[in-house]
C-alpha cells in the first residue's frame, strides 16, 4: 500500500471535531485539513484575536468552512471547566477530540492551581477536558486523539510531585519536565483505551506523535523566560532537520481520520527513527505501556483535577 498522505482522508461531512492548539503549528494544519474534507471544526483558544484570525484563514482557504471558537486556556483548570461548559451548552456531540496543544521547555513555573506547568498544560488540562466533554464524545462514539512525542521514551517514569501542589523536591530540568508530560499523554491515551474496552464503549482512544516538526513549540516554552544556549541549539537543529508543520500534522490526521483504526493505536513518522516521513503505526516505550502506571496516573489526575472520570 502506498504511503499515507492527507489525500487518503475521506469525506468528513457531518462530523464535528474539537481541536486544541489550533491557532498555530500542527494544530492549525490539522484544523485546515479537517475543514478541507468537510468537517465542522470547533477549537479552543485563549487569544480572541488569534481565534478570529484562524477562522478567517480557514474560511478563506475553504469557502463555506464551518468553524467556531471556544475561549479556552489550558494553563488553568478553571478555564478548562468554563470552556467545556460552553462547549456542552452549544453542541450536542463531537465525533473527534484532538488533544494537541502544549508547551515545551518552559522555565520552572506553576499553573494557577499550583501544578508544574508542563504537566498542567500538556496532560492535566487535556485529561480534564476529555472527562468534562465525555458525555458529548460518547454520544457519538467519538475518537480521542492525544498527541505525544518521541521525548516520551527519554524518561523512565512520571514524577508524582508534578501532579501535586507541593511539587517535587528534585532539581527542575525543563526538558525532563516536558518529556514526562508527553509520557503522561501517551500513558493517558493507552489507559483510556483499556477503560473503554472494559466498559464496552464504542468510543476509541488513539495517540500520535509528529516526529521532529519545526513549529512554534520550540519557541513558545523558552520564550517564557530567558533563552539559554540549549534552547537556542534545539531551535537551530529543528530548522535543519525538522519537517514542516504540515507534515508533522500527518500522523495526527492519520490517527484522527483513518476508518477502523484500532483503539490503542499509536501513529508516528516512518523515516529516520521516527523523526520525519509519512505516518505509520509505531510502538511505545515499555514504561508507557505499563497498566500499573496507567492506573496510578489516572487516579492522580482525577485528584488533581478534582473530578472523577468513568468512561
Q: What's the sign of the alpha-carbon dihedral 134, 135, 137, 138?
A: positive
pLDDT score for 218: 45
Question: Quick one: angle between helices 174-199 and 291-305, nearest 10?
Answer: 100
pLDDT score for 278: 85
Catalytic: which of 172, 178, 212, 266? 178
pLDDT score for 127: 98
What stretches in the chain show pLDDT beneath 70? 1, 167-169, 213-243, 271-274, 276
pLDDT score for 226: 45
Q: Is 178 a catalytic residue?
A: yes
Cell of 119: 504537566
Whole-number Å distance between alpha carbons of 126 and 2: 33
Residue whose C-alpha is closest to residue 105's, from 156, 44, 151? 151
- The number of helix segments (H) and strand segments (E) in the chain equals 11, 8
pLDDT score for 246: 80
pLDDT score for 223: 45
pLDDT score for 295: 97
Whole-number Å distance between alpha carbons of 188 and 184: 6
Query: What's the whole-model pTM score?
Result: 0.91
Query: Scanning the structure block, which residue is given the C-alpha cell 513549529?
Result: 215
Q: What are the structural domains, with CATH classification, of the chain?
A: 14-305 (3.40.50.720)
Amino acid at each position: 500500500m502506498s504511503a499515507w498522505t492527507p489525500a487518503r482522508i475521506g469525506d468528513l461531512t457531518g462530523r464535528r471535531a474539537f481541536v486544541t492548539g489550533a491557532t498555530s503549528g500542527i494544530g492549525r494544519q490539522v484544523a485546515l485539513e479537517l475543514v478541507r474534507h468537510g468537517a465542522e471544526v470547533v477549537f479552543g483558544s485563549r487569544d480572541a484575536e488569534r481565534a478570529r484570525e484562524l477562522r478567517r484563514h480557514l474560511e478563506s482557504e475553504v469557502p463555506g468552512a464551518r468553524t467556531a471558537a471556544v475561549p479556552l486556556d489550558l494553563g488553568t483548570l478553571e478555564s478548562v471547566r468554563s470552556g467545556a461548559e460552553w462547549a456542552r451548552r452549544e453542541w450536542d456531540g463531537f465525533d473527534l477530540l484532538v488533544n494537541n496543544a502544549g508547551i515545551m521547555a518552559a522555565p520552572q513555573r506553576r499553573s494557577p492551581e499550583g501544578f508544574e506547568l508542563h504537566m498542567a498544560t500538556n496532560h492535566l488540562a487535556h485529561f480534564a477536558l476529555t472527562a468534562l466533554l465525555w458525555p458529548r464524545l460518547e454520544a457519538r462514539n467519538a475518537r480521542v486523539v492525544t498527541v505525544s512525542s518521541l521525548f516520551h521514551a527519554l524518561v523512565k517514569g512520571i514524577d508524582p510531585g508534578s501532579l501535586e501542589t507541593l511539587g517535587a523536591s528534585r532539581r527542575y530540568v525543563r526538558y525532563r519536565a516536558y518529556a514526562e508530560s508527553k509520557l503522561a499523554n501517551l500513558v493517558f491515551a493507552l489507559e483510556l483505551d483499556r477503560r473503554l474496552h472494559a466498559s464496552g464503549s464504542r468510543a476509541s482512544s488513539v495517540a500520535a506523535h509528529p516526529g521532529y516538526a519545526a513549529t512554534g513549540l520550540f519557541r513558545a516554552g523558552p520564550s517564557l523566560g530567558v533563552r539559554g544556549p540549549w534552547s537556542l541549539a534545539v531551535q537551530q537543529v529543528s530548522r535543519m532537520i525538522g519537517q514542516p508543520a504540515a507534515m508533522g500534522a500527518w500522523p495526527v490526521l492519520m490517527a484522527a481520520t483513518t476508518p477502523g483504526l484500532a483503539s490503542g493505536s499509536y501513529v508516528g513518522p516512518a523515516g529516520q527513527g521516527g523523526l520525519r516521513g509519512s505516518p505509520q503505526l509505531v510502538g511505545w516505550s515499555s514504561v508507557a505501556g505499563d497498566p500499573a502506571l496507567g492506573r496510578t496516573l489516572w487516579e492522580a489526575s482525577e485528584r488533581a483535577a478534582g473530578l472523577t472520570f468513568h468512561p
